[in-house]
Amino acid sequence: MQRTILHCDLNGFYASVECLYRPEIRNLPVVVGGDVDKRHGIILAKNQIAKKFNIKTGEALWQARQKCPNLVIIQPNFARYLRFSALVRRIFTEYSDLIEPFGIDEAWIDVTHSLIKGTGKEIADELRERIKSEVGITASVGVSFNKIFAKLGSDIKKPDATTVITKSNMKEIVFPLNASELLYVGRATYQKLIKLNIFTIGDIANADLKFLKQHFGKHGEYLWLFANGLESSPVSPYGADSGVKSIGNSTTTPRDLKNMSDLKIVAYVLAESVGARLREQGLKGKTISVSIRDTSLNSFTRQKKLLFDTDCDKEIVQTALELFANNTKGLFPLRSIGISISDLSHGSETRQLSLFVDHEDIEKERTIDKTVDLIRKRYGFSTIKRGIILTDPTLGDFNPKSDHIIFPVGYF
């Protein structure tokens, strides 16, 4: 039996939920985003009216305001969005127990064994109507034989629409689409594809596999499989715990980072947050990653693998600063940076010691870190700070550990 996979995408989710609570703004251009004054200002969601002004998810709030001066900007209420997301997923469970979230507002649903209730399209249409009548928001649903094309289908037509992609119509629907529409073709990958005269998903599908692997490595093989409809990963059972893959924080700074001295202040705050969250969950990590975004909103990540796993603030920040120093030359000013750690293991697990590392010194640092954690937990985050942060309170006065946003785990 051929699989039938749905991908449900709640339209302008955050903005749609906010409009339920504020009927007076339903007919106005509405976006949900961060604090403009603190420059945590990117568009997280927009309603259909804002979309008419060519406002895009992920762009800066100040840019959106230039396009639409009377834009209504609402700061996010994640507890509210989680509640509405749970309401929608409760509806999904009536059709399948194979439900795999892709963020708070998207999910794949395998309805192969629910087809007694109708075709994939009929189930998708019923889902849309139920979400609209029972929850009060709209959704777009893609129907296909694999997860990649199901997600592509939910993106093709919005809002409140169903798109069916089958093996017989996939070339007609999918191949003419811009290559950037394919999952995991980001800006950098897309620019590289253009230089190789690959412009559409069909171009990727018809490209020589060896050629793609030569230019993109293993990722090139994934792109070729995705474009040709050969992706076959299963939809995970509802509630399956995939485990924490990484822990990290990033921030858009109140002002541009002009040099390494500015960057170092913010890096210490982020590294302390990452370390505290590791210790709180009894985890250690081995691979440190940093993300960098300049004032033109170009961004990239770099990483380094340590000799052994750690949850020590000093090790995290020193490795991160090394990565920043080696990769920010000529890029200042910077708008935002991030630090994360992956290759996680439980802190109680036995680890291989290194002859080239002073483990006694590291244990002393960890004792200090734990003491700081305890003081902050008991008396508040701002009760104890590093001296470097006080050199510019404008940059260092934030608490990423409590303010962090959890973003969806990547497809892989």
64-80 burial: b if 16+ Cβ within 10 Å, else e:
bbeebeebbbbebeeee
pLDDT at 34 > cutoff 80 = no
Angle at 411 between CA 151 and CA 116, to 5 degrees: 45
Mean pLDDT of 240-254: 76
What is the per-residue pLDDT for 350? 45
**3-class DSSP assignment, residue 304:** strand
- 296, 250 in Cβ contact below 8 A? no
Q: Is it true that domain 1-173 has CATH number 3.40.920.10?
A: no
pLDDT band for 408, please (50, 70, 90 cuts): very low
Name the helix (H) or strand (E) containing 361.
helix 359-379
CA distance 100 to 187: 26
Would you place residue 259 in the very low, low, confident or very high pLDDT band (cuts 50, 70, 90)?
Answer: very high
Whether 231 sits among the annotated catalytic residues: the reply is no
Q: Where are the domains of the chain?
A: 1-173, 174-227, 246-403
Same fold, 174-227 and 246-403: no
Render pLDDT for 362-406 as a digit per residue (tens, 0 to 9).
788 888 998 998 888 888 777 888 899 889 988 888 777 655 444
As to burial, measured by CB atoms within 10 angstroms (0-12 exposed, 13-18 middle, 19+ buried), residue 215 is middle
pLDDT value at 279 more than 80: yes
Is the per-residue pLDDT at 299 higher than 90?
Answer: no
State the pLDDT at residue 308: 86
Determine the pLDDT at residue 330. Answer: 87
Q: Does residue 157 have a pLDDT over 60?
A: yes
Residue-wise pLDDT tens digits, 76-94 = 898 899 999 999 999 999 9
Closest by CA to 108, choosing from 76, 158, 71, 148, is 148
If you average pLDDT over residues 238-253, what whole number do you get? 76
Instruction: Tell how many helices (H) and how many strands (E) occur in the chain.
Output: 17, 13
Residues in the chain: 412
For 328-339, b/e burial (b = at least 16 CB within 10 A) is beebeebbbbbb
Residue of 106, 129, 221, 363 marked active site: 106
Region 246-403: CATH code:
3.30.1490.100
> Average model confidence (pLDDT) for the chain?
88
What is the maximum alpha-carbon separation in the chain? 66
* CA-based nearest residue to 17, from 28, 30, 34: 30
CATH, domain range 174-227: 1.10.150.20
pLDDT tops 70 at residue 40: no
User: Residue 282: its pLDDT value, please?
Assistant: 86
